[in-house]
A and B are shown apart, each in its own frame.
Chain A
């Protein structure tokens, strides 16, 4: 389909391993968000891209978390030296950003199915 896709859907890592999570947004969507959803909680913002520019990374919990979107489409969230507290579902969302009369407005964010990361 033409929705947001994420891979892998499930990832089990040993503590200390590096992981890379991939997001394929809807084609043509300018905005891309990463969210972290701990068990039993709502998603929490991690970082935001507008095309290839990472404009907000205020939600990244530590410098072990790194995200990139080099060509303004596919994005990768990398977690280095994983810890048990990193276990969560990582959601990617994309949206088409609209500017009307010089004012930004935000269209609906479409979410992918998420990657469930378990760190042992």
Chain B
């Protein structure tokens, strides 16, 4: 099935460093979302973006919805050990049609933070 192209696949960083990851798609989405998944758990929503060009922050997290509606990035500033996990981007088609809000996910970015 279709998956979004997410990079990098993994990152090993020192505590306190900033992190950036991005996601691209061959098709347009009108909602972009970023999730974090811890081992043995389901994904948890971090940030949702609803408008092309939108820049949204949630604490140390900042995400942007690309102008073309085919890409998004997530930045994490001043990383801490509890940021460890797998981060997924997801695209969603809103408002009618037959998508019903199903999510199309990227392959994930594995983040490791060294104290």
**Do A45 and B1 touch (CB < 8 A)?**
yes
In the assembled complex, how far is the CB of residue A41 from the closest CB belonging to chain B, in whole angstroms?
6
Question: Which of chain B's residues have a CB closer than 8 A to the CB of A50?
Answer: 100
- Residue in B closest to A107 when the chains form the complex, CB atoms: B101
**Do A97 and B102 touch (CB < 8 A)?**
no
Number of interface residues of B (CB under 8 A): 28
In the complex, A105 has a CB within 8 A of chain B:
yes
Contacting residue for A104 out of B96, B104, B106, CB 8 A: B96
In the complex, B29 has a CB within 8 A of chain A:
no
Contacting residue for B42 out of A41, A97, A105, A113, CB 8 A: A113
**Do B100 and A44 touch (CB < 8 A)?**
no
| 0/1 string, A46-79, CB within 8 A of B gives 1 | 0010100001100100000000000000000000
In the assembled complex, how far is the CB of residue B75 from the closest CB belonging to chain A, in whole angstroms?
20
In the assembled complex, how far is the CB of residue B82 from the closest CB belonging to chain A, in whole angstroms?
19
In the complex, A112 has a CB within 8 A of chain B:
yes
Question: Which of chain A's residues have a CB closer than 8 A to the CB of B105?
Answer: 42-44
**Do A4 and B3 touch (CB < 8 A)?**
no
Question: Which of chain B's residues have a CB closer than 8 A to the CB of A109?
Answer: 45, 101, 103
* Complex CA–CA separation, A55 to B101 (angstroms): 12
In the complex, B7 has a CB within 8 A of chain A:
no
**Do B108 and A42 touch (CB < 8 A)?**
yes
**Do B42 and A45 touch (CB < 8 A)?**
no
**Do B42 and A91 touch (CB < 8 A)?**
yes
In the assembled complex, how far is the CB of residue A110 from the closest CB belonging to chain B, in whole angstroms?
8
In the complex, A108 has a CB within 8 A of chain B:
yes
B contacts, CB < 8 Å to A: 1, 3-4, 6, 31, 40-45, 48, 88, 90, 92, 94-96, 98, 100-108
A contacts, CB < 8 Å to B: 4, 31, 33, 35, 40-45, 48, 50, 55-56, 59, 91, 93, 95, 97, 103-106, 108-109, 111-114
Q: List 19 contacting pairs A-B, 8 Å CB cutoff, sorted by A.
A: A31-B101, A33-B103, A35-B103, A41-B107, A42-B105, A43-B43, A43-B103, A44-B105, A50-B100, A91-B43, A103-B95, A104-B94, A104-B95, A104-B101, A105-B95, A109-B103, A111-B43, A114-B40, A114-B41
